[in-house]
Amino acid sequence: MRHLLILLLGIFTFMSQPAFSSPVIILLGPPGSGKGTQAVRISQKLAIPHISTGDIFRYNIKNATPLGLKVKEYLDAGKLVPDSVTLEMLFDRLNKDDCKNGYLLDGVPRTVAQAEAIQEYLKAHPHKLLVCNLVVSDAEILKRITGRRSCTACNKIYHIESAPPMQKETCDICKGPLTQRTDDTPAVVEERLKAYYSQTKPVEDFYKKVSQVHDVDGAQSSDQVFNSLLKILSPSA
Ligand SMILES: [Zn+2]
């Protein structure tokens, strides 16, 4: 009986801290790992906002917020936006009401310095940190990105192996000619992978120290990756 009471009290204490169950999901993975696509699906499924730095930049610039104006100055001058400004914008976004029940970070943190700053921020904001890492080999990424073709007329995306058009180099929908983006060449992809390994891979090591990093086989089909992620992020879903 006493044990039961203690157990009930424990459950009650746990349940009365809903903030701790707010998931903060961090998706890691190299360019071409399908991270962006999965981020959209996961945030829809779990009904939490999908936060990407690109979106935050665009929002602030479009609405000419004080931070947006600062960013525009850097961009207009052809300079990189410093970490401090990016983080200020990120935390400004995370402080909004819709992030109270959790959120998913996509493409951020990109550096260990950003990861440390986010970890500091999280100390003051109760949450449940869930870090997933999409694992895809360099060879697979090269194949994925360099095989990509898009329609010059309607922008539909094809892949010469996994999603080829019915007629070679021609869009199924509008019959427009297909083209390869200039940054989808092996040389550019290898350059991006190199940047990823030197800058962002250490972020993975950082999270291995402060939390658990769940590796997910990103070479599976998009649906399989999605289901693997869901099992980790929301076992009851
Ligand atoms: Zn087309």
Return per-residue pLDDT of the chain as tens, 237 residues. 666 666 665 555 554 444 457 999 999 999 889 999 999 999 999 999 999 988 999 999 999 999 999 999 998 999 888 989 999 999 999 999 999 999 999 989 999 999 999 999 999 988 999 999 999 999 999 999 999 999 999 999 999 998 999 999 999 999 999 999 988 999 999 999 998 999 888 999 999 999 999 999 999 999 999 999 999 998 876
Separation of CA 170 and ligand 1 centre (Å): 8
Q: What's residue 107's pLDDT?
A: 87
CA 164 to centroid of ligand 1, rounded, Å: 13
Catalytic residue selected from 110, 143, 156, 201: 110
Residue 183's contacts (CB-CB under 8 Å, 6 or more residues apart) are: 189, 192
User: What is the structure's pLDDT at 102?
Assistant: 95
> Active-site residue 175, yes or no?
no
The C-alpha atoms of residue 31 and residue 10 are separated, in whole angstroms, by 43
Ligand 1 centre to CA of 206 (Å) is 43
pLDDT in the model for residue 183:
86
Please give the structure tokens belonging to residue 109.
Answer: 């943190």
d(C-alpha 56, C-alpha 27), whole Å:
17
- Sheet containing 23-28: which strands, arranged edge to edge? 50-52, 103-106, 23-28, 128-135, 213-217
Identify whether 208 is a catalytic site residue.
Answer: no
Of the residues 72, 100, 128, 192, which is catalytic? Answer: 192
Which distant-in-sequence residues (6+ apart) come within 8 Å of 28 by Cβ? Answer: 35, 131, 132, 133, 134, 200, 203, 204, 207, 213
Q: Write out the two tokens for 139.
A: 């060879």
User: Can you give the pLDDT at residue 8?
Assistant: 60
Q: Is 181 in the active site?
A: yes
Structure tokens at 237: 């879903």
Instruction: Give the pLDDT of residue 16.
Output: 45
